[in-house]
């Protein structure tokens, strides 16, 4: 057995199950889950049709590099979405089976934001690296405090994970922050893994979140040196079960990663590839999906923010809300009394410098249909008034 396995913490949803194990949720109220970031809008028909049509390819082993048509569709989409002039599908794009497995297998030695998507930590630990946590605090508008990282840590860093739009805070990185990180990456020779799994969930059609490749492009960083972006269809196209995403950026890194993946054995099924091509080539279902989230955030978020201090997120589908007292205690009582589940923030943060930046927060995922979210928010608001 890999000795590093002993360092892994239980996944936050395991901890949530343990927290709720002895709780009987109020039987008068149908349970509503706002704890898991799983999209619950329906998967578009065009994906399902393409998936069925693509099933004839199941008779052959797929290649790790992926079907040229899929690499082409991803590259074209990235160029359209981020205004990139050049992106070579043959050398700068790689299909992956959702961004999670790719984010995981990419790790070497690692700096991670805090709170954070838990895969970054597991990847670092199992690679034998020591994660260094960079807090995102309300005082700094939830920008990760990169400037607090000592030079000695940057000097040892091989990989930096950046999440924008961020899970859980919903914050989007700005151009000046990217510039700062690119300069650090050049100076200390490390790689930036930009997790952009939420890039297509935003609220203003006229203002899509700035992407890492676009930030590099704007700075004239031709070839995207030291940068790899991770994207996914899971949230964009409501297809978390499809397991489809991409890695794109620095051709030398994409090449090395492809070599690794050839041994790892993570080639995409042709049926999944066919559905993915259909999804990347269509923007209409993505706009319709965004409209559903925009409606929920416009109509429901203000009620939550009125009782639990929370910023309206720049993007993604979470509210990162301050709660009175202990966050796990709040989540357990909310579940018991109102049958609504949310994720305690301390479960997705780590204590550094004597504080866990997730402590005292809960993550509320507005993923369910509008009426269900509205009902959950009503219960959450009345509960918060009672305990606040
Ligand atoms: C920040 C972040 N990155 C990556 C993922 C993984 O998504 P997928 O593997 O479905 O692409 C998630 C899933 O919730 C996430 O929250």
Distance 197 CA to ligand 1 centre (A): 6
Scanning the chain, the segments in alpha helix (DSSP H) are: 12-20, 45-53, 68-82, 99-105, 119-126, 151-156, 175-188, 212-218, 233-236, 251-264, 270-280, 284-307, 327-338, 370-387
Position 202 scores a pLDDT of 98
Given its phi and psi angles, is residue 83 left (phi above 0), alpha (psi -120 to 50 degrees) or beta? left
DSSP 100-132: HHHHHHT-SSEEEEES--THHHHHHHHTT---E
Return the structure tokens found at 152.
């000695």
> Which pLDDT score, from 0 to 100, does residue 360 have?
97
Report the nearest atom of ligand 1 relative to the CA of 97: 9
By alpha-carbon position, which residue is closest to atom 3 of ligand 1?
A: 197
Which residues of the chain are modeled with pLDDT < 70? 1-2, 108-111
Residue 108 near residue 125 (C-beta atoms within 8 A): no
Share of the chain above pLDDT 90, in %: 78
Q: What is the pLDDT of residue 357?
A: 95
pLDDT digits (tens, 9 = 90+) for 104-144: 877 744 567 788 888 888 888 888 888 999 999 888 889 99
pLDDT at 108: 46
Q: What is the pTM of this model?
A: 0.90
Q: Which of 269, 241, 253 is nearest to 213 (CA)?
A: 253
Q: Which residues line ligand 1 (CB under 6 A)?
A: 37, 98-100, 103, 117, 163, 167, 195, 197, 232, 234, 240, 245
């Amino acid at each position: 057995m890999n000795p590093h396995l002993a360092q892994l913490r239980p996944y936050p949803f395991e901890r949530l199950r343990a927290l709720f194990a002895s709780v009987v949720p109020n039987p008068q109220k149908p349970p509503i889950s706002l704890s898991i970031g799983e999209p619950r809008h329906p998967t578009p028909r065009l994906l399902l049709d393409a998936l069925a049509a693509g099933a004839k390819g199941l008779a052959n082993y797929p290649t790790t590099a992926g079907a040229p048509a899929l690499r082409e569709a991803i590259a074209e989409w990235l160029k359209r979405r981020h205004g990139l002039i050049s992106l070579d599908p043959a050398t700068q794009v790689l299909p992956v089976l959702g961004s999670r497995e790719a984010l995981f297998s990419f790790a070497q030695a690692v700096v991670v934001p805090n709170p954070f998507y838990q895969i970054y930590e597991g990847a670092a630990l199992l690679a034998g690296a020591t994660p260094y946590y960079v807090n995102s605090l309300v005082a700094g508008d939830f920008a990760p405090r990169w400037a607090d990282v000592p030079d000695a840590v940057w000097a040892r860093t091989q990989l930096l994970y950046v999440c924008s739009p961020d899970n859980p805070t919903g914050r989007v990185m700005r151009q000046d922050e990217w510039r700062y990180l690119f300069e650090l990456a050049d100076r200390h020779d490390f790689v930036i893994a930009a997790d952009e799994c939420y890039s297509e969930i935003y609220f203003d059609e006229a203002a899509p979140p700035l992407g890492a490749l676009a930030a590099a492009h704007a700075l004239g960083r031709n070839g995207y040196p030291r940068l790899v972006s991770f994207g996914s269809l899971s949230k964009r196209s409501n297809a978390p079960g499809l397991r489809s995403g991409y890695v794109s950026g620095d051709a030398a890194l994409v090449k090395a990663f492809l070599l690794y993946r050839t041994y790892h054995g993570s080639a995409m099924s042709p049926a999944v590839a066919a559905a993915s091509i259909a999804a990347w080539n269509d923007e209409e279902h993505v706009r319709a999906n965004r409209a559903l989230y925009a409606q929920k955030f416009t109509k429901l978020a203000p009620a939550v923010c009125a009782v639990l201090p929370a910023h309206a997120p720049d993007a993604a589908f979470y509210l990162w809300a301050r709660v009175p007292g202990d966050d796990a205690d709040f989540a357990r009582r909310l579940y018991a009394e109102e049958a609504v589940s949310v994720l305690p923030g301390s479960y997705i943060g780590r204590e550094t410098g004597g504080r866990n930046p997730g402590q005292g927060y809960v993550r509320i995922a507005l993923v369910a249909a509008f009426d269900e979210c509205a009902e959950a928010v009503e219960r959450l608001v009345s509960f918060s008034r009672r305990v606040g």
